[in-house]
Amino acid sequence: MAQIIPAILATKEEDYRRDIGRIERSLLFKEGWVHIDLMDNLFVQNKSIKPSAIANNHTALYKEAHLMVSHPLEWIDDLISAGFKRIIFHLEAQDVVINVINQIKNQGLEVGLAIKNDTSLEKLQPFLEKLDVVLLMGVVPGFQGQKFIPETINRIKEVVNLRSQGNYNFKIGVDGAAKDDNIKGIVEAGADFVAVGSFLLKGDIDENLEALWEAING
């Protein structure tokens, strides 16, 4: 069964506090993960709150960081201090990928690699045995509310094949523009979890989540 993980993209601490509070009050998200987008205004043209602002607002949910930043190594210590359990950074970042993976692993955290839609999946190959997560982008990273890139479905299937061929154990996640009219295809293609932001957080979270599950099972 695939997992739906609520995603927060906040540029102000009060927005983060509002969204994490709404998720926690949901009857359907009492435990599990929350996906938090973090940006530096360099890797993408948007800037988020800092890990310190997240640390100020405690949550019982397991926190997963999605680093859309040029230098993920500079963020790791602050993310650990803020209580993150999993750090996902971009294959296209400027730091040496294996160094970032090892630094995160050495701290006892789960590690994931995110990959943009226009980056060849072959570039993941050297790192797959070390990963807990491969995160495929369904949009151009950095902003919520975009349209889903259809090619993502084929890329999910390709990563499923890579995992099977190499007998790897990583989970496959999809982030960006997931909603009730495309989530069934995402899950059927082989995604283990789907990070859902704007569709879930606009309006009633429980009703929106129910709509997603109805779409998946319909």
What would the pLDDT profile of 159-175 be if each residue is shown by its tens digit?
A: 999 999 999 999 999 99
The sign one gets for the Cα dihedral 68, 57, 85, 107 is: positive
**CATH code for position 55:** 3.20.20.70
**Range with lowest mean pLDDT among 84-93, 122-131, 133-142, 182-191:** 133-142
Number of domain units in the chain: 1
Average pLDDT over residues 22-33: 85
**CA–CA separation, 79 vs 75, rounded Å?**
6
Average pLDDT over residues 172-183: 96
Spatial CB neighbours of 53, under 8 Å, sequence gap ≥ 6: 13, 16
Average pLDDT over residues 93-107: 98
**CA–CA separation, 73 vs 96, rounded Å?**
9
pLDDT score of 125 more than 80: yes
pLDDT score of 178 more than 80: yes
pLDDT score of 10 more than 90: yes
List 175, 181, 204, 206, catalytic entry: 175
Q: Average model confidence (pLDDT) for the chain?
A: 95
pLDDT at position 30 is 65
pLDDT at position 155 is 98
Q: Domain span at residue 157?
A: 3-217
Structure tokens at 159: 């990563």
Percent of the chain with pLDDT over 90: 92
pLDDT in tens, 28-75: 876 799 999 999 999 998 899 999 999 999 999 999 999 999 999 999
Q: Using an 8 Å Cβ cutoff, are 62 and 83 in contact?
A: no
Q: What's the alpha-carbon Rg for the chain, to the nearest Å?
A: 16
List 19, 37, 40, 192, catalytic entry: 37
pTM of this structure:
0.96
- DSSP string covering the chain, please? --EEEEEEE-SSHHHHHHHHHHHHHSTT-SSSEEEEEEEBSSSSS-B---HHHHHTS--SSEEEEEEE-S-GGGTHHHHHHTTEEEEEEETTSSS-HHHHHHHHHHTT-EEEEEE-TTS-GGGGGGGGGG-SEEEEESS-TT-SSPPP-TTHHHHHHHHHHHHHHHT---EEEEESS--TTTHHHHHHHT-SEEEE-HHHHSS-HHHHHHHHHHHHH-
pLDDT at position 146 is 79
175 annotated active-site: yes
